[in-house]
Amino acid sequence: MKIVVCMKPVPSSEARINIASDGRSIDPTDVEMVANPYDEYAVEEALRIKEARGEGEVIVLTVAAEAARSEIRKCLAMGVDRGVIVQDPALLGGDGIGTARVLAAVIRELEPELVLCGKLSIDVESDVVGIALAEYLDWPHVSLATKIEWPDGKMAKVQREIEGGAEIVEVSLPAVVTAEKGLNEPRYASLKGIMAAKRKPIEAVTPSVDAGQVGAAGAGVEIVAMNPPPARGGGKKFEGEIEEVVPQVVELLKSEAKIL
């Protein structure tokens, strides 16, 4: 089975984020980038599907600047067969819908049977790309997958998280599935994998898309300003005998914090 995994490089969750001088973007200086953690679940799942079948190809697809090759390389080190990158500046800097259009154009050419994405990227968390991508491809999608099974090898039986439980959805291919935490535990790249990654190809492509619908030109979302989160206010400290303090805390959790 040919599987495409969409991967976005994002700042590491441990990185210190500074707002750039334009006030509307993140200053990339010295920010450690990683593959979006949800996309790593998607990569791992694709590799497991390939391994279980003993055949197939896993391609990682990224819409990002040249620097993203290093995150692609990390996916190759995990076992992905090859990378495809869209790095044309005209196609970058858009919103999630624009990205979905670009991805759809590339995926139509690649003709996979399955596309796996993370449920969202941890940087902007707009949560639209995977689903919009399925719409542009006119394929079915299943979001928030926590388990994917293949009862007859053709239909995917996907378990997804819903409020208060899990839903099982059967989907025919081709399809887009987005990965939720819990789908699997991504492997560590073996050192052999890291060495082998050097020799695997990363191809830069420029898909034909309507220039007015993608990149900054086609963005429907405009980032007006970015602000750091407000500093956390001081906590409340209770002192005294435990019998006296607990009712006070409970009362305030009800009346003030309104969480009970």
What does the binding site for another protein look like in residue numbers (CB under 8 A)? 70, 73-74, 77, 188-192, 194-195, 197-198
For residue 167, how many other CB atoms are within 10 A of its CB?
Answer: 12
Chain-centre distance of CA 48, in angstroms? 18
For residue 47, give the nearest of 5, 84, 104, 103 by alpha carbon.
Answer: 5
User: At its nearest, how many Å lie between another protein and the CB of residue 211?
Assistant: 32
Task: With beta carbons less than 8 A apart as the criterion, state whether 43 and 34 touch.
Answer: no
**Residue 14 three-state SS:** coil
Q: Which is nearer to another protein, 192 or 232 (CB)?
A: 192
Task: With beta carbons less than 8 A apart as the criterion, state whether 26 and 19 touch.
Answer: yes
Instruction: Taking each helix axis as running N to C, give the angle between helix 69-78 and helix 37-53, from 0 to 180 degrees, rounded to the nearest 10.
Output: 40
Q: Which is nearer to another protein, 3 or 33 (CB)?
A: 33
User: At its nearest, how many Å lie between another protein and the CB of residue 189?
Assistant: 5
Q: Which is nearer to another protein, 152 or 203 (CB)?
A: 203
For residue 119, give the nearest of 156, 75, 76, 160 by alpha carbon.
Answer: 160
User: At its nearest, how many Å lie between another protein and the CB of residue 197?
Assistant: 8
User: At its nearest, how many Å lie between another protein and the CB of residue 51?
Assistant: 15
Tokens representing 251?
Answer: 């009362």
User: At its nearest, how many Å lie between another protein and the CB of residue 30?
Assistant: 9
**Residue 7 three-state SS:** coil
Q: What is the chain's percent helix, strand, coil content, to nearest 5? A: 35, 25, 45
Task: With beta carbons less than 8 A apart as the criterion, state whether 253 and 245 touch.
Answer: no
For residue 149, list its beta bridge partners.
157
User: At its nearest, how many Å lie between another protein and the CB of residue 141?
Assistant: 31
**Residue 114 three-state SS:** strand
User: At its nearest, how many Å lie between another protein and the CB of residue 192?
Assistant: 5
C-alpha dihedral sign at 168, 174, 178, 184: positive
Chain-centre distance of CA 218, in angstroms? 21
